[in-house]
């Protein structure tokens, strides 16, 4: 493992986006950062800015209004990036499934890498999901590099 | 080379070309006259530099018969005042009328009743200070002339415009070289007339109003100056600046009720005259009002002519104040200058109109120069001369840039200039260079501020030194604020903006390029400038050449090398400019919370806190109070 | 044979080594800061080398760029900070060093202004206001240094060859040192004066729009800044290495504690507090050195 890959695993910066749910999972994510759960021992930092973030935590079902916003945010995140759907609503649509004004689950809008079920999710689950996401970051980067090599070879 | 020839080249030839350009028909012919004038003027000023210091006596002109110049000038002087009276009457501006009448009376008193003007003497002195001033006036003035060929195309009153511009330059050169105070007074009032006519160039309501204000304020300064001259002739029994250094001061019988310290009273009057010309604090409104004039006029007023005359006068009288023991007067000049420096910078912070920002920043830097002349040590006077030069180059450049930007976007508001670099890369980059040169090390203004800081910390009275340093620090920080905001605005582009083919008017852009190069050259040549071109009167005991050790400026307290830092600065910016490549694929819009909309950004001018309407009502009375203290300091 | 007393070691080799070590020291200090803050809050906290993980990670990320100008200014910011640190280590003129350090702030502000983003615009405005707040105090402190030592040169504070000859600045300028402590949170971008990079309000202020390696460069510049600021404070007791390092450590601990026990203030509160307290401290200190006659004209 190269130094950069190691540090990528050690320093996941997070942007957390609420797309219009009940905010229950929001509060649980914030609880992760508090002394009791202390996600920052994994190097997690909440940036509030997609341009600095590696991992996007999405909470809540995606409302139609939020669809464009969430794609914009996703596009502004630099590669490699991981999207984590936090809570039942983001993973499947939850109790909003089939409701008007909704796209349903998050994976219909942007590609999702990790699903964390639960209503609300427990902070332990969020941390577990984050750690799962860390390995995916490096995998994704390797894939991107391979594709670049391929397209170069093709050219 | 004959000094007289050079003198007439710098003084009479611009006037001559002005008349020619006024008479010839068609814009093309006028254009050639202007270009020729600019060329002759620049070459003449360089020849004066090459020729070095000398003294000249001009007593009479021979055109068939011998005419004494003194008499001609006195006659012209009265004619000038009659012109002012005419304009005052025409505009129903009673302040102008009253002040002109008063000045007429004083002048008549000076010519008729005050003795001491009979003996002949040196009428023109070419010394190092006037050479430096002449270079500023002639070189920058010429570039502004060239620029105005492009700028004034299609203007209705273009003939009289060029005439007055060129007369202005000639008059300013004469003012710089004049040694006879009565002559100097004539040229002084000549600049008032020229600036007055140029400000009212558009002949509409606001410009007439602004020009009248400029006129009455400058007439006030003229009165102060003529009072000073009367007192000098009475107290020192001479009318030549150069003879004042060795003059014996005697209190005349008519003024015997004054205390003995009042021997420096004339210099207090002259300082007030200088304050009006340089638009320092209580008189600042004429210069900000003068922004209605065409931009080349503003450039000329702010960088090379008008306002420089004031600080030039202060630099001239500073050693005299030192000789005749006016320590207190110097302190008050320091405070007036520092006050203007700090608070005009603060006022500029609340402005959005680019020309007003520049106007306030001009006043603020002139305040800094005045402050240096007040500190009145060899280091401070060196700082004053250096600041005068560096400021003229940068400010001339910035005004010309604003003129060109106004042509491109049709607005002078800096909020409208956002992302201008995509539309007009050349002029924007030059503007940014100009802005950075006024705030950042290692450019000229920084060299000046560094010297000023050093000289302020050598002040003998530690209390005043602290006040001076306080003014310098806060003034500099405020100017950094408004300049960097403006520079940043110019550079803010959208991700995928491409430049449309720009329209080039080379008459306007070549002066810009030359001046921008001048900024770098002037910094690179700082050490040579200090050793060769600044010559201080003996009273200061030290020459600025003592500052220079190799490429390093080294005072008693520390040193740095302008050239080295200039190179470092360029390297620091050039490395990223050359290395960084922006691939098209990585362009993204800015973060706007994912909405994808471009937000309206701007503001942060704090108008409610430090706007003109808030501050000026306190600052003007304080300024007037400071003037009163100026006289009290002399009389008590 | 070069011995440890050789001036060449102290004049060239030592500053050069320190200049190379500066970002590492600065980064470690930030790591210690994060660990200590975590411990103060009864958390485990990230490892001490976390800042280096962050920077290295940033160098492995994709660039998302808005325009070229702000990238140029970011690099210029880094280079200027390195330059001013170098000047400080190589004992240049203190006044010039202060202005060069100010120039780095100007570059950062220009970087923030030259993208059309509301966050970096507001951030730059605030950055300027912060500069407006701390720069006068810093310059006045430099002026006091000059009054006491008789020169703006760092060498006057402490000559390499005869360190015992001069009195430590701490004895003559204790309140000026306190004024430096007062502006420490501004320079280190910490609470209560972390107004420009208030990430809960305005994303990251002027650095909002940077991604990938350019953000990494800005972070490295920040490492240098930490080192610069603490080294500057170290000048107050150059006679004894133990006291000198203790002073720097004290300043650092002070900033951490203040960071943890205060909330962010508004701009106007910051300006008022720093100006009133700072100017008061400086004036009292000035009065002290004037009365005791410990100044050189």
Q: Are the C-beta atoms of residues B116 and B233 closer than 8 Å to each other? A: yes
| Percent of all residues in chain B with a pLDDT value above 70, rounded to a whole number | 96
How many Å apart are CA B350 and CA B366, to the nearest integer? Answer: 19
pLDDT at C78: 92
How many Å apart are CA B439 and CA B429, to the nearest integer? Answer: 16
The CA-CA-CA angle for residues A64, A65, A69, to 5°, reads 110
Task: Indicate the DSSP class of residue B325.
Answer: T
Q: Which residue spans within B107-233 are E strands per DSSP?
A: 124-126
- Say which residues have a Cβ less than 8 Å from residue C4's Cβ, sequence separation at least 6: none
Mean pLDDT over B27-38 rounds to 87
pLDDT at B498: 65
B44-58 pLDDT tens trace: 888 888 888 888 777
Both structure tokens of B98: 């009253």
Cα dihedral B528/B529/B532/B538 (nearest 10): -130
Does residue C4 carry a pLDDT above 70? Answer: no
- Residue in B closest to A74 by C-alpha: B594
Q: Which residues of C touch A3 (CB under 8 A)?
A: 56
**What's the pTM value of the predicted model, to 2 decimals?**
0.89
Q: Do A68 and B589 touch (CB under 8 A)?
A: no
Mean pLDDT over A2-31 rounds to 84
pLDDT band with cut points at 50, 70 and 90 for residue C80:
very high
How many Å apart are CA C80 and CA C69, to the nearest integer? Answer: 16
Q: Name the percent of chain A in helix, strand, coil, to the closest 5.
A: 50, 15, 35
C86, C87, C88, C113, best to mutate vs chain B, most B CBs in 10 Å = C113
**Closest listed residue to residue B595, CA positions, set A89, A17, C261:** A17
Q: Which of C63, C110, C151 is the closest to B487 by Cβ?
A: C110
pLDDT at A1: 66
Q: Which residues of C touch A11 (CB under 8 A)?
A: 50, 53-54, 56-57
A14, A41, A50, A144, best to mutate vs chain C, most C CBs in 10 Å = A41
Both structure tokens of C282: 């400086």
Q: Which of B591, B595, B596 is the closest to A50 by Cβ?
A: B591
Both structure tokens of A70: 């969430």
State the smallest CA–CA distance between residue B503 and chain C in angstroms: 23
Least confident of B211-215, B524-528, C130-134: B524-528
Does residue B36 carry a pLDDT above 60? Answer: yes
Phi, psi of B13 (to 5 degrees): -60, -45
Which ranges of B411-505 would DSSP assign to H, the alpha helix?
420-423, 425-439, 444-456, 462-491
Q: Name C153's bridge partners.
A: C93
Both structure tokens of B515: 């001046």
What mean pLDDT is reported for chain C?
A: 84
Strand order in the sheet with B548-549: B548-549, B552-554, B559-560
Residue in this structure with the two tokens 């909309």, named with its chain if needed:
B597
- Say which residues have a Cβ less than 8 Å from residue B434's Cβ, sequence separation at least 6: B394, B397, B398, B401, B515, B516, B519
What mean pLDDT is reported for chain B?
A: 83
Does residue C115 carry a pLDDT above 60? Answer: yes
Q: Are the C-beta atoms of residues C177 and C170 closer than 8 Å to each other? A: yes
Q: Are the C-beta atoms of residues C167 and C280 closer than 8 Å to each other? A: no
Identify the helix (H) or strand (E) that includes residue B125.
strand B124-126
Phi, psi of A45 (to 5 degrees): -135, 135
The DSSP string of B486-528 is HHHHHH-B-TT--PPPPP--HHHHHHHHHHHHHHHHHHHTHHH
B105-124 pLDDT tens trace: 888 888 777 755 556 678 88
Q: Do A4 and C42 touch (CB under 8 A)?
A: no
Q: Do A72 and B596 touch (CB under 8 A)?
A: yes
ipTM above 0.90, yes or no: no
Q: Which residues of B touch C140 (CB under 8 A)?
A: 469-470, 473
Q: Which of residues 36-75 of A touch B (CB under 8 A)?
A: 49-51, 68-70, 72-73, 75
Q: Name A56's bridge partners.
A: A15, A83
Q: Which residues of A touch C59 (CB under 8 A)?
A: 4
Q: Are the C-beta atoms of residues B232 and B313 closer than 8 Å to each other? A: no
Q: Are the C-beta atoms of residues B85 and B100 closer than 8 Å to each other? A: yes
B588 touches chain A (CB under 8 A): yes
| Percent of all residues in chain A with a pLDDT value above 70, rounded to a whole number | 99
Q: Do C38 and A3 touch (CB under 8 A)?
A: no
How many Å apart are CA B405 and CA B413, to the nearest integer? Answer: 10
Least confident of B495-509, B589-603, C191-205: B495-509
Q: Do B592 and C118 touch (CB under 8 A)?
A: yes
Both structure tokens of B10: 């710098």
- Residue in A closest to B589 by C-alpha: A76
Identify the helix (H) or strand (E) that includes residue B66.
strand B65-68
> What is the domain partition of chain B in residue ranges?
326-636
**β-pairing verdict for A82-86 and A55-59:** parallel
pLDDT at B501: 63
**Closest listed residue to residue C144, CA positions, set C94, C91, C88:** C94
**β-pairing verdict for A13-18 and B124-126:** unpaired
B170-193 pLDDT tens trace: 888 888 888 888 888 888 888 888
Least confident of B98-112, B535-549, C210-224: B535-549
Residue in this structure with the two tokens 């009659």, named with its chain if needed:
B82
Task: Indicate the DSSP class of residue C209.
Answer: T
């Amino acid at each position: 493992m190269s130094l950069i890959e190691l540090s990528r695993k050690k320093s996941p910066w997070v942007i957390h986006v609420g797309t219009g749910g009940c905010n229950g999972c929001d509060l649980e994510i914030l609880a992760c950062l508090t002394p009791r759960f202390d996600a920052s021992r994994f190097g997690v930092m909440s940036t509030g800015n997609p341009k600095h973030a590696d991992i996007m935590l999405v909470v809540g079902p995606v409302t139609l209004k939020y669809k464009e916003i969430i794609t914009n945010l996703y596009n502004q995140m630099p590669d490699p990036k991981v999207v984590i759907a936090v809570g039942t609503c983001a993973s499947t649509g939850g109790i909003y499934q089939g409701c008007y004004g909704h796209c349903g689950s998050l994976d219909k809008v942007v590609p999702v890498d990790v699903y964390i079920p639960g209503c609300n999710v427990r902070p332990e689950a969020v941390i577990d999901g984050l750690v799962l996401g860390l390995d995916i970051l490096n995998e994704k980067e390797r894939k991107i590099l391979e594709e670049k090599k391929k397209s170069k070879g093709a050219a | 080379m004959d000094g007289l020839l050079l003198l007439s080249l710098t003084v009479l030839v611009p006037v001559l070309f002005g008349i020619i350009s006024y008479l010839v028909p068609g814009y093309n012919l006028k254009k050639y006259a202007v270009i020729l004038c600019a060329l002759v003027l620049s070459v003449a000023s360089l020849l004066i530099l090459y020729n070095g210091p000398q003294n000249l006596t001009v007593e009479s002109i021979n055109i068939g018969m011998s005419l004494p110049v003194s008499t001609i000038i006195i006659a012209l002087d009265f004619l000038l005042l009659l012109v002012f009276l005419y304009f005052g009457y025409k505009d129903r501006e009673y302040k102008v009328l009253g002040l002109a009448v008063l000045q007429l009376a004083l002048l008549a008193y000076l010519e008729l009743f005050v003795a001491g003007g009979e003996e002949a003497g040196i009428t023109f002195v070419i010394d190092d200070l006037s050479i430096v001033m002449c270079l500023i006036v002639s070189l920058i003035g010429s570039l502004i002339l060239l620029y105005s060929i492009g700028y004034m195309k299609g203007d209705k009153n273009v003939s009289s415009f060029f005439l007055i511009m060129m007369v202005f330059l000639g008059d300013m050169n004469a003012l710089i070289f004049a040694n006879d105070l009565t002559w100097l007074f004539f040229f002084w009032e000549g600049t008032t007339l020229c600036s007055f006519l140029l400000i009212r160039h558009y002949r509409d309501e606001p410009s007439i109003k602004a020009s009248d204000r400029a006129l009455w304020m400058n007439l006030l300064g003229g009165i102060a100056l003529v009072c000073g001259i009367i007192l000098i002739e009475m107290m020192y029994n001479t009318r030549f600046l150069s003879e004042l250094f060795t003059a014996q001061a005697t209190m005349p019988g008519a003024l015997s009720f004054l205390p003995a310290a009042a021997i420096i009273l004339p210099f207090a009057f002259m300082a007030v005259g200088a304050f009006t010309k340089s638009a320092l604090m209580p008189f600042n409104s004429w210069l900000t009002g003068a922004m209605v004039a065409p931009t080349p006029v503003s450039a000329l007023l702010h960088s090379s002519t008008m306002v420089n005359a004031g600080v030039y006068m202060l630099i001239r009288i500073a050693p005299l104040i030192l000789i005749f023991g006016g320590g207190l007067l110097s302190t008050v000049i320091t405070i007036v200058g520092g006050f203007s420096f700090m608070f005009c910078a603060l006022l500029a912070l609340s402005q959005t109109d680019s020309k007003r920002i520049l106007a306030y920043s001009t006043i603020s830097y002139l305040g800094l120069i005045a402050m240096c002349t007040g500190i009145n040590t060899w280091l401070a006077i060196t700082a004053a001369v250096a600041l005068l030069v560096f400021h003229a180059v940068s400010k001339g450049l910035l005004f010309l840039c604003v003129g060109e930007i106004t042509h491109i976007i049709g607005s002078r508001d800096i909020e409208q200039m956002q992302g201008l670099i995509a539309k007009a890369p050349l002029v924007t980059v030059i503007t940014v260079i100009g802005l950075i040169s006024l705030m950042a090390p290692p450019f000229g203004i920084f060299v000046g501020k560094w010297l000023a800081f050093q000289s302020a910390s050598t002040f003998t009275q530690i209390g005043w030194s602290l006040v001076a340093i306080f003014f310098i620090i806060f003034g500099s920080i405020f100017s950094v604020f408004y300049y960097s905001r403006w520079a940043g605005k110019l550079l803010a582009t959208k991700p995928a903006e491409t430049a449309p083919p720009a329209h080039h008017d080379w008459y306007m852009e070549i002066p810009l390029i030359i001046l921008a190069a001048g900024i770098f050259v002037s910094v690179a040549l700082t050490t040579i400038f200090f050793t060769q071109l600044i010559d201080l009167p003996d009273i200061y005991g030290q020459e600025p050449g003592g500052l220079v050790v190799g490429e390093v400026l080294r005072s008693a307290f520390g040193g740095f090398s302008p050239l080295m830092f200039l190179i470092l600065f360029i390297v620091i910016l050039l490395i990223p400019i050359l290395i960084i490549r922006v691939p098209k694929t990585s362009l993204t819009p800015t973060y706007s919370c994912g909405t994808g909309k471009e937000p309206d950004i701007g503001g942060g001018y704090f108008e409610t806190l430090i706007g003109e309407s808030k501050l000026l009502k306190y600052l003007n009375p304080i300024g007037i109070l400071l003037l009163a203290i100026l006289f009290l300091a002399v009389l008590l | 044979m070069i011995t440890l007393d050789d001036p060449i070691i102290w004049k060239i080799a030592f500053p050069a080594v320190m200049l190379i070590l500066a970002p590492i020291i600065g980064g470690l200090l930030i790591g210690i800061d994060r660990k200590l803050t975590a411990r103060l809050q009864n958390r485990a906290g990230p490892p001490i080398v976390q800042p280096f993980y962050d920077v290295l990670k940033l160098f492995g990320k994709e660039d998302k760029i808005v325009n070229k100008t702000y990238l140029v200014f970011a690099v210029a910011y880094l280079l200027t900070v390195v330059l001013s640190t170098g000047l400080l280590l190589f004992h240049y003129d203190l006044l010039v060093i202060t202005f060069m350090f100010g120039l780095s702030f100007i570059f950062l502000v220009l970087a923030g202004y030259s993208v059309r983003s509301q966050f970096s615009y507001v951030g730059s405005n605030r950055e300027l206001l912060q500069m407006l707040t701390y720069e006068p105090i810093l310059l006045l402190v430099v002026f006091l240094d000059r009054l006491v030592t008789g020169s703006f040169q760092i060498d006057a504070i402490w000559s390499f060859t005869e360190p015992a000859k001069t009195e430590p600045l701490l004895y003559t300028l204790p309140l000026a040192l306190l004024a430096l402590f007062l502006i420490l949170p501004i320079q280190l971008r910490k609470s209560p004066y972390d107004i420009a990079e208030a990430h809960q309000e305005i994303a990251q202020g002027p650095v909002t729009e940077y991604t990938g390696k350019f953000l990494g460069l800005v972070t490295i510049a920040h490492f240098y800044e930490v080192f610069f600021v603490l080294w500057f404070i170290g000048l107050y007791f150059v006679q004894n290495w133990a006291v000198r390092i203790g002073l720097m450590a004290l300043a650092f601990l002070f900033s951490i504690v203040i960071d943890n026990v205060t909330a962010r203030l508004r701009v106007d509160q910051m300006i008022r507090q720093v100006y009133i307290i700072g100017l008061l401290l400086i004036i009292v200190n000035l009065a002290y050195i004037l009365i005791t006659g410990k100044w050189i004209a």
